[in-house]
Amino acid sequence: MEIEIISFGQITEFINNQKIEVDGITDTDAFSKYIENRFPALKNLKYKLALNKNIVQHNTEITNQATIAIMPPFSGG
Amino acid sequence: MGAARYNRQIILKGFGEEAQQKLLRAKVLVIGAGGLGCPALQYLAAAGIGHIGIIDDDAISLSNLHRQILFTTADIGKLKVEVAAKRLQEMNPQIGIIRHPIRLQKNNTLDILSRYDYILDGTDNFESRYLISDACALLNKPLIFAAVSGFEGQLAIFNVPDQLTPGTNYRDLFPVPPGKDEVPNCSENGIIGVLPGILGTMAAAETIKLIAKVGLPLTNRILNYNLLTQEQYTISITHGKGYVIPKTVDEFLNMDYQDTSEGPQGYIEIDAAELVKLQQSESTILIDVRERHEVPVLDKQIFTQVPMSEFGAFIGKEFYQKNVVLICQHGVRSVAAAEAMQEKYGDSKKIYSLKGGIIKWRDHFLKS
């Protein structure tokens, strides 16, 4: 299954926008686990996922060619 | 009344006299007269918002001028609120400008915010952003949120329902604030002046759309803007579950917004005079927690260099000094370092953080 990852802010420093080929990741909880394992720096940051441009508020099914955005909070002004 | 001033937007199809009257009747509060606040204020004032309040307790400094475009070099040292209000009043004498030269805190926020119809958050720290978001959610006030980081910005409107979703708030995105060392701020990480210019202007545009009821304001959506690619990515926001948000005034007043002035802490924030005193003691270690590339470079004989990126490895090591003074550029990272050391060493060491950092006490560091 192909998933497109889009990241923002300081998360772009270690996760580039990219398409990944993964097997066995069928929901957003599994995706979080996968991405935190692959990029451990993410574990220490606050971030929110968006699946196909919708904020993920509970575990949600991921289908082939989904886009997942990883968004950190910004406070600067 | 003043129709000639607003002629170009009154004759605009889809805007018109009615929309102009709505702007004139609106009361908008802009919090923070900084990189986001300055451009937002300029366009809100020019567009004819009838009442504009400005909150900021800060004075203008030289390093503000590349992005805070209401101010001139001659204004350095003056209060931002005063200079901004005067300038805006000159731009548009037909509107009312209300000055609030104060810092928002739990005990004054609800009172001030309740006097306005729309709140624009252009602050520069998470404490203020959560304080403002919670207050707006409690008061059910539309909140126009703009923030920047690096070359990117975020823009959203909270507490305004649309056909599908009741109003969402910032905690629906980020239930709790990040720790002090998690997210770098502008003064530590740098910011290109035009970026808050764009985001502040977009925040003014969203405010005007919301008041005039034109177009599709960013209600229940967050826009991510990238200056380097000119790309925008908009995400729909729905309600989150299980987060803590104050639902009454009492609950609000009991929240911990980590005001450094009132929070419980085991370390002590000091000024340069106290630093000098501590420096006399042989049992004091001075630690510069900035990264190795940062300037000004301090005398390494006096200041031990332990960058935040290496701090985890340093902490827990044995050293004889009783007093630990932590220093960084602006006194933000040093607080994070102080918290970490306090946790590790407890009462066995006295932990200090230089408030305001090297920039604030520049003269002291340049002569030493």
Mean pLDDT of B240-266: 79
Q: Which residues of A touch B239 (CB under 8 A)?
A: 57
Helices (H), B182-324: 186-189, 194-212, 249-253, 272-280, 311-314
For CATH 3.40.50.720, the residue range(s) in chain B are 7-253
Closest CA to B53 of B88, B33, B29, B37: B29
| Cβ proximity of B249 and B134 under 8 Å | no
Q: What is the mean pLDDT of residues B9-18?
A: 94
Q: Residues B227-247: what's their mean pLDDT?
A: 95
Strands B118-121 vs B96-100: parallel, antiparallel or unpaired: unpaired
Q: Token digits for A58?
A: 């509970």
Check CB contact under 8 Å for B183 and A72.
Answer: yes
Q: State the pLDDT at residue B185.
A: 59
Mean pLDDT (chain B) is 91
Q: Residues B216-234: what's their mean pLDDT?
A: 98
Could you give the CA distance from residue B195 to residue B47 in angstroms, rounded to a whole number?
Answer: 21
Of chain A, the percentage scoring pLDDT greater than 70 comes to 100
Q: Is B133 in the A-facing interface, judged by CB distances under 8 Å?
A: no
The residue written with tokens 């306005």 in the block is B116
Question: Across the interface, which of B147, B172, B238 has its CB nearest the CB of A74?
Answer: B147
Q: What is the pLDDT of residues A3-13, one digit of tens each?
A: 999 999 999 99
Residue B188: per-residue pLDDT: 65
Q: How many other C-beta atoms can be found within 10 angstroms of the C-beta atom of residue A3?
A: 21
Residue A27: give its domain's CATH number. 3.10.20.30
Beta carbons of B225 and B152 less than 8 angstroms apart: yes
Give the relative orientation of helices B80-91 and B37-47 as an angle to the nearest 10 degrees.
Answer: 30
What mean pLDDT do residues B294-301 have?
Answer: 89
> CATH 3.40.250.10 residue ranges in chain B?
268-367
Chain A interface includes B234 (CB < 8 A): yes
A40 in reach of chain B (CB within 8 A): no
Say which residue the tokens 């530590």 belong to: B188
Total domain count, chain A: 1
What value does the mean pLDDT take over residues B230-248?
95
Q: Which of A16-20, B21-25, B156-160 has the lowest mean pLDDT?
A: A16-20
How would residue B264 be classed by pLDDT, with cut points 50, 70 and 90? very low
Of residues B61 and B276, more confidently modeled: B61
Task: Please report the pLDDT score of residue B147 as a whole number.
Answer: 98
Q: What are phi and psi of B214, to 5 degrees?
A: -120, 150
Does residue B362 carry a pLDDT above 60? Answer: yes
Note the pLDDT of residue B261: 37
Of B37, B148, B238, Cβ closest to residue A74: B148
Q: Which residues of B261-288 are buried (b: 16+ CB within 10 A; e: fewer)?
A: eeeeeebebbebeebeebeeeeebbbbb
Q: Is the pLDDT of residue B3 over 90?
A: no
Query: What amino acid is encoded at B232 in this protein?
Result: Q
pLDDT digits (tens, 9 = 90+) for B59-115: 999 999 999 999 999 999 999 999 999 999 999 999 999 999 999 999 999 999 999
- Which of A67, A69, A8 has the alpha carbon at shortest distance from B227? A8
Q: CA B257, CA B252: separation in Å to the nearest integer?
A: 10
**For residues B124 and B183, what is the distance between their CA atoms, to the nearest angstrom?**
12
Please give the residue of chain A at the shortest CA–CA distance from B197: A77
Omega before B246 within 30 of 0, i.e. cis? no
Domain assignment of residue A6, yes or no: yes
Confidence band for B260, pLDDT divided at 50, 70 and 90:
very low
Q: Report yes or no: B153 and B146 within 8 Å, Cβ to Cβ.
A: yes
- Go through chain B and tell me how many residues it has: 368
Could you list the beta-strand ranges (E) of B63-216.
Answer: 96-100, 118-121, 143-149, 152-158
- If you average pLDDT over residues B283-304, what whole number do you get? 90
Q: How far apart are CA B218 and CA B234, in angstroms?
A: 9
Q: Do residue A75 and residue B125 have CB atoms under 8 angstroms apart?
A: yes
Domain enclosing residue A8, as ranges:
2-71
Residue B296 in tokens: 């000004």
Q: What is the pLDDT of residue A30?
A: 96
* B342 or B171, which is more confident: B171
**pLDDT level of residue B360 (50, 70, 90 thresholds):** confident
Any idea what DSSP says for residue B78?
A: S
Across the interface, of B32, B238, B241, the residue whose CB is closest to A77 is B32
Give residue B1's pLDDT. Answer: 52
What mean pLDDT do residues B197-226 have? 98
pLDDT at B262: 34
Q: Which fold has domain B7-253?
A: Rossmann fold (3.40.50)
In A45-74, the residues whose Cβ lies within 8 Å of chain B are 45-46, 48, 50, 53-55, 57-58, 69, 71-74
For residue B195, the SS3 value is: helix
List, for residues B17-40, the tens digit of each pLDDT value: 999 999 999 999 999 999 999 999
The length of chain A, given as a count of residues: 77
Res B5 pLDDT > 70: yes
Could you tell me if residue A77 is inside a domain? Answer: no
Query: Which residue's entry shows tokens 């099914």?
Result: A61
- % pLDDT > 90, chain B: 70
- Rounded alpha-carbon distances, angstroms, from residue B170 to B201, B226, B318: 20, 20, 42
Residue A42 lies in a domain: yes
Average pLDDT over residues B240-245: 91
Q: Which run of H or of E encompasses B366?
A: helix B362-367
CATH architecture type of domain B268-367? 3-Layer(aba) Sandwich (3.40)
pLDDT higher than threshold 80 for residue B221: yes
Q: Which pLDDT score is estimated for B310?
A: 86
| Encoded tokens for B348 | 């066995």
- Looking at residue B140, what is its pLDDT? 97
- In angstroms, the CA B297 to CA B290 distance is 10
Strands A18-21 and A54-55 come out as: unpaired
| Listed range (A19-28, B308-317, B352-361) with the worst mean pLDDT | B308-317
Q: What token pair was written down for B141?
A: 């006030």
Mean pLDDT, residues B237-248 taken together:
94
